[in-house]
């Protein structure tokens, strides 16, 4: 089962009261349903979503929905569950906030009573995700959560509801409908917590923290490797300068202290400046600092540059 499937399975089993159930059903039907005054039809590839719709309609309205199962041979051979509600339809449409002011026109978005408080708002968003949402497994290369909506008014409403939790969701036009999406890992985790997918949150956070730790270690290793390569490149240039000075019979122009550093640089080409200073200090029993080693190597470079300029 995919990560999205596990989230939907978890939230479809949450115990909720009648008012929350109506808000959740409103989220489901507003997002993806063919609603008429005499019937409501919903299609989904997710069995848990189908069972949730069936249960809510049965528990709240004592109506048994018709469920048809057929194969989807378009791209995947998944089963499609078609839920049809043919009884108490006007009452259901009214309860989920979709009857217009005239009492006959079906609205594209529900009225404010459906999302009147935090629990109802969470239930509505949960319904939207359950019927038309998906979220990448945090083990994949990118973080992404989305909900596909049939119309722009609903997409904008959903975006605003989600962003009331400071989740930075956005709307993108697609060929079929509109996508409300979240990209930031922390925001996705907060979204899952908001819809009460607590097991999903724990899994998501465990993987996210592990990935961030691995990424941090990789960045540290990259920095260390870059420093090593930079140190080796500098060492190679210093050795080239020393050999060049010797080839021009100008080595004796350097004083003994600078010659000492030059000989140790050739002897220990892979050592950093601080390592070189420690080696010289131990082997000569005469303390020398990193800055002092660097200063003497600069003297060598200056002499090599002067010789090159004369040529």
Mean pLDDT by 10 residues, the chain (311 residues): 91 92 92 86 90 92 88 70 90 84 68 90 94 90 89 92 93 88 92 93 86 75 76 84 85 85 86 86 87 88 85 72
pLDDT of residue 76: 60
3 state DSSP class of 81: strand
pLDDT of residue 98: 82
Q: What is the CA radius of gyration of the chain?
A: 34
Return the closest-CA partner of residue 178 out of 132, 217, 210: 132
Write the Ramachandran bin of 136: left for phi over 0, alpha for psi from -120 to 50, otherwise beta.
beta
- What does the alpha-carbon distance between residue 27 and residue 131 come to, in Å, rounded to a whole number? 8
Determine how many CB atoms are found less than 10 A away from the CB of residue 244.
16
pLDDT of residue 102: 57
- The pair of three-digit structure tokens given for residue 136, joined into one six-digit string: 């990448």
Kindly report the CATH class assigned to 3-196. Answer: alpha beta
| Contact residues for 99 (Cβ-Cβ < 8 A; gap 6+) | 90, 93, 105, 106, 107
pLDDT of residue 305: 85
pLDDT of residue 310: 79
- The pair of three-digit structure tokens given for residue 287, joined into one six-digit string: 């303390």
pLDDT of residue 74: 60
3 state DSSP class of 80: strand
Determine how many CB atoms are found less than 10 A away from the CB of residue 271.
19
Pairing mode of beta strands 40-44, 34-35:
antiparallel
- The residue extents of the domains of the chain are 3-196, 231-310
Cα angle 13-15-21, degrees, rounded to a multiple of 5: 95
Determine how many CB atoms are found less than 10 A away from the CB of residue 56.
21
| Contact residues for 71 (Cβ-Cβ < 8 A; gap 6+) | 77, 78, 79, 80
pLDDT of residue 101: 58
pLDDT of residue 103: 57
- What does the alpha-carbon distance between residue 279 and residue 268 come to, in Å, rounded to a whole number? 9
pLDDT of residue 73: 64
- Consecutive H or E run containing 49: helix 47-61
């Amino acid at each position: 089962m995919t990560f999205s499937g596990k989230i939907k399975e978890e939230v479809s089993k949450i115990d909720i009261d009648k008012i929350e159930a109506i808000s959740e059903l409103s989220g489901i039907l507003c997002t993806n349903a063919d609603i008429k005054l005499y019937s409501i039809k919903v299609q989904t590839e997710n069995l848990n979503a189908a069972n949730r719709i069936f249960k809510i309609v049965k528990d709240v309205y004592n109506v048994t929905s018709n469920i048809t199962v057929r194969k989807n041979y378009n791209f995947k051979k998944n089963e499609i569950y078609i839920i049809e509600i043919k009884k108490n339809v006007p009452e259901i449409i009214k309860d989920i906030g979709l009857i217009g002011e005239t009492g006959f026109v079906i609205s594209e978005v529900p009225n404010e009573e459906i999302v009147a408080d935090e629990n109802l708002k969470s239930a509505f968003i949960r319904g939207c995700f359950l019927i038309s949402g998906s979220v990448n497994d945090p083990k994949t290369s990118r973080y992404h959560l989305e909900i596909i909506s049939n119309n722009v008014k609903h997409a904008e409403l959903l975006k605003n509801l989600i962003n009331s939790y400071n989740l930075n969701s956005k709307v993108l036009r697609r060929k079929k409908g509109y996508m409300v999406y979240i990209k930031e890992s922390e925001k996705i985790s907060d979204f899952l917590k908001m819809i009460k997918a607590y097991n999903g949150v724990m899994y998501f956070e465990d993987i996210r923290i592990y990935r961030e730790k691995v990424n941090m270690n990789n960045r540290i290793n990259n920095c260390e490797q870059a420093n090593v390569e930079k140190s080796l490149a500098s060492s190679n240039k210093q050795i080239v300068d020393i050999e060049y000075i010797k080839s021009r019979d100008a080595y004796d122009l350097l004083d003994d202290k600078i010659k000492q550093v030059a000989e140790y640089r050739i002897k220990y080409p892979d050592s950093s400046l601080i390592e070189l200073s420690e080696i010289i200090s131990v082997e000569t029993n005469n303390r020398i600092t990193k800055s002092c080693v660097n200063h003497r190597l600069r003297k060598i470079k200056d002499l090599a540059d002067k010789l090159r300029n004369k040529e």
